[in-house]
Amino acid sequence: QSGIGGGGRYDGLMEKLGGQSLSGIGFGIGVDRVLLACEAEGIELSPATRLSLYLIPLGEDARTFAFELLSTLRNQSIRCDMAYGDRGLKGAMKSGDKSGAKYLAVLGENEITSGQVDIKQMSDGVVASVRLSEIANFLK
């Protein structure tokens, strides 16, 4: 099989599913097929680089702050992510561990107010207290 994707027009599909009569298109690609096609063409993919920081926001204010912080870090080419959804601290910690990130930080109201956050190095559990304004320098 040589196709890596497929799709087409799906006019009237929404109406058949109980919605409005709309025109539509759709497509899908198989990631495994794309990888095989790259291999066949001799295209080397760089290995996935590890996250520098996994951030766990506690509450809506922290989530908003975390989005802004991650945007700032990403603009400086620092790989980072955060816990999304409302899985609770325990679930978010598990997610952070599975992410393979070098560092993990929990961000709450106290950290935002003080401007300081504890960052845990995942390999050995060593914790460093870092000013929020200095996180990028710490991670570089």
- pLDDT, tens digit, 9 for 90 and up, residues 85-133: 888 899 999 999 999 999 999 999 999 999 999 999 999 999 999 999 9
Is 1's pLDDT higher than 70? no
Question: Which segments of the chain are extended strands (E)?
Answer: 5-9, 25-29, 53-57, 80-82, 103-107, 116-121, 127-131
Q: Which domains are present in the chain?
A: 5-40 (no CATH), 53-139 (3.40.50.800)
Looking at every residue in the chain, the average pLDDT score rounds to 92
